[in-house]
Amino acid sequence: MTELVLTNARIVLEDSILHGSVQILDGKIADISEGSTRTGEDFEGDYLIPGLVELHTDHLEQHYSPRPGVRWNATAAIQAHDAQVATSGITTVFDCLRLGADEDGGFDDGEMRAMADAISAAADQGRLRSEHFLHLRCEVSADNCMDHFVDFETDPHVKLVSLMDHAPGQRQFQTMDQYTLYYQKKRGLSDEAFAIFVARRQEQSARNSTPHRTAIAKVCGERGITVASHDDATLSHVDEAIENGVRLAEFPTSFDAAKASHEAGMSVLMGAPNIVRGKSHSGNIAARDLAERGVLDVLSSDYVPLSLLHAPFVLADGVDGISLPKALAMVTATPARTVSLNDRGRIATGLRADIVRVQRQDGVPIVRAVWREGKRVA
């Protein structure tokens, strides 16, 4: 039997903070005790928190395709991504893979399947520090969305699927001002080329979105995969999500949609960078506003891994009624429950010993050590 004792720690439980010790036996939490009478690794008063659970990050793409048209070695990209994730305190990560492409970008047929195989092989070879699952981001408006989805219909690593439509006039881009800034100005399209582009995207959305949503949601329901909506803006979007069995509402763009999703029992997810920056990068609702109104449930690092640890401290410091345990639950216990990973996300006896030692200086937390199932990984 392998034993590890962590002592003299500020242990962040789901609803309180306890100064004491944690005993780990064979990768699981065996005992939590108040006080520091045990002999073990001295935390010197640092925080002991659950390993973070990341549901939505496209950070892997930044390593695999670091420049337009560049493809990095998949295994090397995965290792670089995993190292940054783990040293940010994330012990469980859902790697986002984009399915469905258009002329604006995306990946070739079979490319995401190859990436998924590379992630699986890296895990089997002991290359990875965190545990990796797959999150399929399905662009339901794209003509080839279902062709890409078929590649994953029997993959047991798929635990989360989001249904997205980024066509102009939809969800994230409700106004043409937002869409023009994001697509025309960023890519230098002429007015004529942009008009053609918009018309094509709108036609694809009208033709594909509903049948693709319905078909994918049906497969996920049969396989027990958690379904997420994406950028819901209206109450009709929320009604559609309820009909599709959605459990996770990602990045709602209006307070009404966030509130309705929360009241319907969905976990409302917003970006941790939004919390740290104090606003959305695309000009939509600020995550802090949802937190202050009690309808924010889950945070994701989105594009900055360390923000997943930073944001809960920002919330606990600045929002009345949100304690540090409550804020940290948004990146540990609640996301774990949302995707039915009930063996992690909390410091509790019998659960996996996914644990992070955190020190805080000058506002920004520092990860001092990370254990996954009782094994030091960072």
Instruction: Please report the DSSP string for 13-65 in residue order.
Output: -SS-EEEEEEEEETTEEEEEEESS-S-SEE-TT-EEEEPEEEEEE-HHHHHHS
pLDDT at 172 over 60: no
Per-residue pLDDT tens over the stretch 77-135 = 999 999 999 999 999 999 999 998 755 556 788 899 999 999 999 999 999 999 999 99
| Backbone CA torsion sign across 51, 293, 265, 58 | negative
Q: Quick one: what percent of the chain has pLDDT higher than 70?
A: 91
Could you give all domains of the chain from N- to C-terminal order, each with its CATH number?
1-50+344-378 (2.30.40.10), 52-343 (3.20.20.140)
Per the CB < 8 A criterion, the answer to whether 141 and 201 are in contact is: yes
Note the pLDDT tens digit of each residue in 363-378.
Answer: 899 999 999 999 999 9
pLDDT tens readout for residues 219-272: 999 999 999 999 899 999 999 999 999 999 999 989 999 999 999 999 999 999
What per-residue confidence (pLDDT) applies to 361?
Answer: 85
| Distance, CA of 249 to CA of 230 (rounded, Å) | 6
